[in-house]
Structure 1
Amino acid sequence: MTEQTPRICILGGGFGGLYTALRLSQLPWENDEKPEIVLVDQSDRFIFTPLLYELLTGELQTWEIAPPFVELLQNTGVRFCQGIVSGIDTEEKKVQLQDNTEIPYDRLVLALGGETPLDIVPGARYYAYPFRNLTDVYRLEQRLRVLEASAADKIRVAVVGGGYSGVELACKLADRLGDRGRFRLIEVNDQILRTSPEFNREAATKALTAKKVFLDLETKVESIEEETISLEYKNQVDTIPVDLVIWTVGTKVAPVVKSMDLQHNQRGQITTNQTLQVVEHPEIFALGDLADCCDAEGQQVPATAQVAFQQADYTAWNIWASLSDRPLLPFRYQPLGEMMALGKDNATLTGLGIKLDGSFAYLARRLAYLYRMPTLDHQLKVGFNWLVRPIIDTLSQ
């Protein structure tokens, strides 16, 4: 690395990290200013997480929502490095990977996302299935196939968490298993989708009821065993037989982030200013799940894919500005509404004065996510496949 060639190291290839890298590659760098951009992720594929559920029902294929980084970064000048981050030396400005590789940096982007906390309840780590990445999907798919191939009359499924992930999973799995499934959605609060618009909550409740998903509200998981789950409701604990427990509750910051000598909040998230720079470390930017961030109006922003998607634009711009002596911009979050799948051919869409549910909302959700996919080339491949696949399926019947 020379003085003339700054290096930008981006840790994490989710919405925050990948979209920051792509945006940086598009900015108008002067020839003598153009930096080296390195994207580091432990997986070889980007995951479009809002569409992960569709893999379980066969509505989408892996290549559509999880394209390889190498493919996405072709002709961008961004170098991809697959590896697990083991340490970050903020004094020496170096990132250490588990294979002992060291990556020096001039600007560092922390976008490592979060992890599913499985240490909250006894037995969850051993018997519950998280749902956050492709590995989780493959494990869950394998378990479902074993259950579907068994002689059991009913497949008993408990989904822990009544937020977006839990509701979407319950609906998709109910469609997959049909009458053979016995579902319960467990939520500690007195309603599902507590922070969501009422329209979404009502549509979700209607869909869950139609799919015969039983709602355990104001219910706490006490423990999970191999074939049972113990639930506490109004100080009474019941132990219920179960074949599959899926855990969708909460998110926690990765240990490598928590161990950094930076300013953290109580949840371990890194505190940033409004330009997404880490407090007392202007050369480090943080976004997504691991960032404790306020927007230009001083409002706390939620840790969602939509926020990370928007933060990526600002992060890229502000890195470019910081390396070319231009003013940095405070992050301005624009809530664009919420979308949620409620099974096959059903969804809700709210925002910008629009409220939709049913098959039209399902189509609108698909098109909105197609538009947000990372590169034009991938958008065209996926869009073309979505057009021709129904025709091929019809002809092959």
Structure 2
Amino acid sequence: MPPTPPTAGPADPAAFRPSPAVPRPVQVCIVGGGFGGLYCALALHRRLGKGTPVRITLVEPRDRFSFTPLLYELLTQELAPWEIAPAYRDLLKHTAIHLCQDWVERIDLGQQIVTLRHGPPLTYDYLVVAMGSQLRPPSLPSSQTHTLPFTTLHDAEQLERRLGDLDSLSQVRVVVAGAGASGVELACKLSDRLGARGQVTLVDRRGEILRSYPSRLQRAAARALAKRGVEVYLNAAIEAVEANGVTFGYEGKTRHAQADLMLWTVGTVPRSWPGNDAPKPTLMGQCQVLSTLQLPDHSNVFVLGDMAAMPAPGRDRAPATAQAAYQAGPAVAHNILALIAHRPLKPFVYNHLGDMLTLGQGEAVVCGFGLCITGRLGGFSRRWAYWLRLPTAAHRWRVLKHWLGLKA
């Protein structure tokens, strides 16, 4: 389901009273330009009054933001790359946010210094770390050689090139490893993209698709896969990945699925803390944070998104999703301004409103508030909900004009 702003109210710019003893702008450094980092930077910028002495620096090595839940629409040409992957410089050009396009090599919490790969080091008064997650290291080294991932715009472009290479084939055999959200969405989109030429197989070692999702959503996904003729093998442990396909155990026998194209969507892990000065991680590899998303031993450092074990009512932690990171960004912005102005901080309250998945071209399932919408209406609802959460008003307006066929 679409992410929503956190329940904590916005900071009151009029209440912002920086200490007169500070001779220079307060330095806020935000590491990572995904849903957590970018939306935190934008929220900070919006809530600062004119002339407020705060300098916001966003450190991100990529040149484009990726609205990852809509990456799948690129495969069926329902959306163009510029719609879901706008350039950071375009998003930030009318703001006072400074973009530093570089990699972070090390964070020194004691000295309050961020060391970059190419540029000079950055000092900070307040630090936000939101570097997200990455694909889980494969248990089968050959999977990296013979399969493609699908988590970034670069991955989508790489897959598009590979599909172009297969255009001459009368039949295209695709194997998708992993029946989580990404695997199911890919299987449906690729089946629609390839049509009668496509033979799509979905393999997962667990006993059900979309294991962590509500049963209604699982049933909708199962119907969508069956409608498209996608072969689904559950309780199937992959034993080998070769150039021509995947070998897996199923019902006590060894099977081999021939493939012209293989995609690997088997889980993600939080990105590692840069350098040796890392906070002690949880069992899931995330940073332990307070309810305000601060590090326990460093009140001026916030960690959010996939890297943090963010609190959530009724759960041990918030899910590692765009929805959770989107909500956390403005909450951290509020608390940074509260710290600067010597006001009380507010705890982050994750509000899970439901789930959304695309289930083919123009179709989706949207579950929340006791309702479950599927098919074309689900597809429209999902697209509209995500449009509302594109990063800036200017970009939303440009995308909407394109959808309505208006002149840009």
Distance 1:30 1:281, change over 3 A: farther
Q: Secondary structure at the match of 1:268?
A: coil
Q: 1:228 aligns to what?
A: 245
Alignment of 1:105 with 2:124, yes or no, is: yes
Alignment of 1:127 with 2:133, yes or no, is: no
Task: State the Cα distance separating 1:295 from its structure 2 match.
Answer: 3.4
Distance 1:259 1:208, change over 3 A: farther
Answer yes or no: is the 8 Å Cα contact 2:353–2:369 preserved in 1: yes
Alpha-carbon distance between aligned partners in 2 of 1:294 and 1:76, rounded to the nearest angstrom: 31
For 1:67, give the aligned amino acid. Answer: P
Alignment of 1:235-254 (within 5 A): 235-254=252-271
Alpha-carbon distance between aligned partners in 1 of 2:275 and 2:269, rounded to the nearest angstrom: 10
Q: 2:174 aligns to what?
A: 157
Alpha-carbon distance between aligned partners in 2 of 1:258 and 1:333, rounded to the nearest angstrom: 29
Deviations 1:180-225 (A, max 9, x none): 1111111121110111122211111111001110001011112211
Task: State the Cα distance separating 1:97 from its structure 2 match.
Answer: 1.5
Task: State the Cα distance separating 1:354 from its structure 2 match.
Answer: 2.3
Answer yes or no: is the 8 Å Cα contact 2:183–2:202 preserved in 1: yes
Alpha-carbon distance between aligned partners in 1 of 2:161 and 2:31, rounded to the nearest angstrom: 30
Deviations 1:277-333 (A, max 9, x none): 112111111111111121367741111111111111111101111111011111111
Distance 1:244 1:297, change over 3 A: closer
1:314 to 314, 331, 334: 331
Answer yes or no: is the 8 Å Cα contact 2:36–2:329 preserved in 1: yes
1:11 to 31, 34, 43: 31
Alignment of 1:24 with 2:44, yes or no, is: yes
**Bigger shift: residues 95-104 or 267-276:** 95-104
Q: 2:15 aligns to what?
A: none
Q: 2:14 aligns to what?
A: none
For 2:154, give the aligned amino acid. Answer: T
Task: State the Cα distance separating 1:239 from its structure 2 match.
Answer: 2.9
Task: State the Cα distance separating 1:26 from its structure 2 match.
Answer: 1.1
Alignment of 1:80-95 (within 5 A): 80-95=99-114
Alignment of 1:316-355 (within 5 A): 316-355=333-372
Distance 1:222 1:80, change over 3 A: same
Distance 1:119 1:16, change over 3 A: same
Answer yes or no: is the 8 Å Cα contact 1:274–1:295 preserved in 2: no
Alignment of 1:162-177 (within 5 A): 162-177=179-194
Instruction: Give the superposed CA RMSD.
Output: 1.8
Alignment of 1:56 with 2:60, yes or no, is: no
**Bigger shift: residues 225-234 or 168-177:** 225-234
Alpha-carbon distance between aligned partners in 1 of 2:117 and 2:322, rounded to the nearest angstrom: 27
2:156 to 137, 145, 148: 137
Task: State the Cα distance separating 1:29 from its structure 2 match.
Answer: 4.3
**Larger RCO of the pair (alpha carbons < 8 Å, separation 6+):** 2
Alpha-carbon distance between aligned partners in 2 of 1:279 and 1:238, rounded to the nearest angstrom: 50
Distance 1:171 1:345, change over 3 A: same
Structure 1: segments with no counterpart, 5+ residues: 392-397
Deviations 1:13-69 (A, max 9, x none): 1110100000000114474x5310011111111111110000111110011000011
Alignment of 1:362 with 2:379, yes or no, is: yes
Answer yes or no: is the 8 Å Cα contact 1:118–1:125 preserved in 2: no
2:115 to 96, 99, 104: 96
Q: 1:211 aligns to what?
A: 228
TM-score, scaled relative to structure 2 = 0.91
Distance 1:235 1:323, change over 3 A: farther
Task: State the Cα distance separating 1:344 from its structure 2 match.
Answer: 0.9
Alpha-carbon distance between aligned partners in 1 of 2:44 and 2:314, rounded to the nearest angstrom: 25
Answer yes or no: is the 8 Å Cα contact 1:118–1:124 preserved in 2: no
TM-score, scaled relative to structure 1 = 0.93
Answer yes or no: is the 8 Å Cα contact 1:296–1:330 preserved in 2: no
Structure 2: segments with no counterpart, 5+ residues: 1-21
Answer yes or no: is the 8 Å Cα contact 2:191–2:200 preserved in 1: yes
Task: State the Cα distance separating 1:117 from its structure 2 match.
Answer: 2.0
Alpha-carbon distance between aligned partners in 2 of 1:228 and 1:355, rounded to the nearest angstrom: 36
